[in-house]
Amino acid sequence: MSAHPPRRVLLLGLLTALAVAGVLALTAARFRTRDATSEVDGGTHTVPRTEIARTISGQLTLPFRNGPDAVHCSGDLRPVRYDEVRCTAHFPIGPDRHLTVEVTGVRHNLVTYRRHTLPR
């Protein structure tokens, strides 16, 4: 009879660990959102590369790890659906990350765009 309590404790521990892992995975996916919306600059009629870089840097910074040291984008983003620019995120440890930022929608002076990681 003493063999059953350790199994029960082991099973409860395993189920608890799986539940915690599931919650952490869902939370991490939520923090890693890829869409962003920015306002078009009145003078250039584009989303400035500095705004795109700031947004991407914020998206790549999770509460559980360090974000990039810097993000550099090749140009401004025009408010035209499917327009895209290339960006590079420079991390303190590990390789740089190359991204494409693509316009997914335009409404009035708001541009919604999504980042895509390029293959290495």
Spans of all domains in the chain: 1-31, 34-117
Range of weakest confidence among 13-22, 45-54, 78-87, 101-110: 13-22
DSSP label at 42? T
Q: What is the largest CA-CA distance in the chain?
A: 79
Taking the model in full, what pTM does it have? Answer: 0.70
Question: Which neighbouring-strand residues pair with 39?
Answer: 110
Mean pLDDT across the chain: 85
Give the least confident one: 19-23, 33-37, 80-84, 107-111. 19-23
| 24-47: pLDDT as tens digits | 666 555 555 689 999 999 999 999
pLDDT confidence of residue 30: 52
